[in-house]
Amino acid sequence: MKISSRTLQALFRNPIMLALDDFTKAQGVRLYLVGGSVRDLLLDRQTTDFDFALASDAIHFAKAFAAEIRATCIVLEEDPSTARVIVKQYDPLYPSQLGMDFVQFRAASLAEDLRLRDLTINAMAIAFENVDAVTDHALDSNSHRVIDPCGGMKDLEIGLLRFPSEHVVLADPIRLLRIYRFAAQLGFKISESAIASVQKHRGLLPGVAAERCRDELMKILDVEKAHLYLRRMDVIGLLAQVLPVVTRSRILWQPLQTFEESPIPNPLRAYSEEINNYLQEELGDGVSRRSLIKLSLLLGDNFGDVGEGLRLSRKATQFIECVGSKYEQFFKGMDKRLTREQIIRFLRGTTSDWWGVLLYTAAAHPIDSVVLKQIADTYYEHILPIRKQGRLITGDDLIQVFNLKEGKQIGELLEEVEKRQFAGEIRTREEALAAVEILIRQSQ
């Protein structure tokens, strides 16, 4: 559950934050809200996690605070000292789980620590005792309460993304990709100096862990108009550093744009609820089917070993492979309507991911609207009821009724019965057994 901007002010006055304030004062510690938490606070963006910085040992502080409020503390990193306190809440006004990260300064002072952060808009801090006042007035007369050594407040106002220095890129090259992620999420412009740094240092990105690159890329794909930012990344050669496969052929942008502008084709509007639920489902690492279809459209025919290259989950990799192979098998180059038999074979062959193949196809290849609707209707009116009904007979039935031995023959007979069941030729257990009897007699 995310926090609405309407309850953000109340959140900083809830019992947990009040307890943190009391604990901080009792410990004689100066605590600061920092980084993305300040950015989101000033932008009135929804958030569920809060980042704090302090000069002393953050792990010791976090453990002691967690013990005080009977919460969970997880050590994240030893250098710099970093820990997370997780608080479960039961008040409907607040998130069911509140996360607070505490980190020790990575430099001699707070200002120097902020200068080490990825972007100027993430390089701000507010003393914890001043947070409540800033929630009342955000970017107006209380702006003097924001510690801002890199000019992040001004960049927030004009919607500009900059690196605090070239050093932060060299320190962690993932920031070359992250700046485009924030541009996509916030709709901000990237400064010319930042673009120049990306072009200069893009060759460093392959040295970053694939999992980190995957997370940034998939967050870009998750936004509504990802194609706009991916094209800019392609122009400056950054996209090829994340997806080397795209260098092998020219990217066709129109399919991706088509899907983003209209992910659900008009003939399928009646199934919007089912499709949206399907697209939102995650297949590991916070990656949704919607984003994976976008990635598939971006890759075109060059699926290659992208699953391994991006360290995608097994489910996500299988989904991409299914979309590509079933599109090739059933729809690529299709110049006529599918027969009912072909539609049933398609739906059976793609099992739970026929929606993904169909939506990919609608964006990648002109397909008759009648065919789209016919496929969806066939699934819900014919295939789904049969799947809910289940097998009419089992292998044990064949052994008991026909005295068959376990082996290949039983599997072949069950497959043939199921095939006829989906074709509408067999509807009952009795009909299934009669069909098997004929098949056995014919094979003798």
Report the C-alpha gap between 35 and 124 in whole angstroms: 6
**Is the pLDDT assigned to residue 301 strictly greater than 90?**
no
Q: Which residue has the higher pLDDT, 218 or 331?
A: 218
Residue 203: CB atoms within 10 Å: 12
Band of pLDDT at residue 406, cut at 50, 70 and 90 = confident
| Annotated domain spans of the chain | 1-156, 159-242, 248-369, 395-443
Residue 156 DSSP SS3: helix
The domains spanning 1-156 and 159-242 adopt the same CATH topology:
no
pLDDT top residue among 43 and 142: 43
So what's the pLDDT on residue 91? Answer: 56
Q: Count the neighbouring beta carbons within 10 Å of the beta carbon of residue 250.
A: 8
Query: Pairing between strand 189-190 and 160-161?
Result: parallel
Burial of 354 per CB tally in 10 Å (0-12, 13-18, 19+)? buried
Q: Reduced to 3 states, what is the DSSP secondary structure of residue 92?
A: coil
Classify each residue of 175-199 as buried b or exposed e, where b means 16 or more C-beta atoms within 10 Å of its C-beta: bbbbbbbbbbebebebbeebbebbe
Between the two ends of the chain, the Cα-to-Cα distance in Å is 63
**Which range among 24-38, 131-145, 357-371, 383-397 shows the weakest confidence by mean pLDDT?**
131-145
**CB proximity list for 28: less than 8 A, separation 6 or greater:** none
95: CB partners within 8 A, 6+ apart = 1, 2, 3, 48, 89
Query: Which of 2-16, 120-134, 404-418 is the least confident region?
Result: 2-16
Give me the pLDDT at residue 93, please.
53
Res 280: pLDDT: 96
Q: Nearest Cα to 411, choosing from 395, 388, 391, 396?
A: 395
Cβ atoms 346, 238 nearer than 8 A? no
Q: What per-residue confidence (pLDDT) applies to 99? A: 87
335-374 pLDDT, tens digit per residue, is 678 888 999 999 998 988 999 999 999 999 888 888 999 9
Tell me the one-letter amino acid at 126: I
User: For residue 21, what are the CA distances in angstroms to 29, 65, 254?
Assistant: 10, 11, 53
Q: What is the pLDDT of residue 14?
A: 77
pLDDT digits (tens, 9 = 90+) for 238-270: 999 999 887 656 788 999 999 999 999 999 999
pLDDT of residue 6: 45
- Which top CATH class is 1-156? alpha beta
- In this prediction, residue 403 has a pLDDT band, given cuts at 50, 70 and 90, of confident
Query: How distant is the alpha carbon of residue 147 from its chain centre?
Result: 32
pLDDT at 249: 61
Q: For 407-419, what is each residue's pLDDT tens digit?
A: 888 888 999 999 9
Two structure tokens written together for 68: 């005080």
247, 282 Cβ separation under 8 angstroms: no
Question: Can you tell me the distance from the alpha carbon of 195 to that of 183, in angstroms, rounded to the nearest whole number?
Answer: 12
* 45 contact partners, CB below 8 Å, separation of at least 6: 5, 39
Q: How far is it, in rounded angstroms, from Cα 441 to Cα 444?
A: 5
Higher pLDDT, 46 or 248: 46
DSSP percent split of the chain into helix, strand, coil, nearest 5: 60, 10, 30
The CA distance from 5 to 38, in Å, is 13
Q: What one-character DSSP code corresponds to residue 190?
A: E
Cβ-contact 279, 385 below 8 angstroms: no
Tens-digit pLDDT profile for residues 78-126: 989 999 999 886 555 555 678 899 999 999 999 999 999 999 999 999 9
User: What's the confidence (pLDDT) of residue 298?
Assistant: 92
Q: How far apart are CA 210 and CA 246, in angstroms?
A: 16
253, 261 in Cβ contact below 8 A?
A: no
Decide the pairing of beta strands 125-127 and 32-34.
Answer: antiparallel
Can you tell me the mean pLDDT for 375-381? 94
pLDDT tens per residue, range 110-121: 999 999 999 999
What's the whole-number average pLDDT of the chain? 89
Domain boundaries 159-242, corresponding CATH code: 1.10.110.30
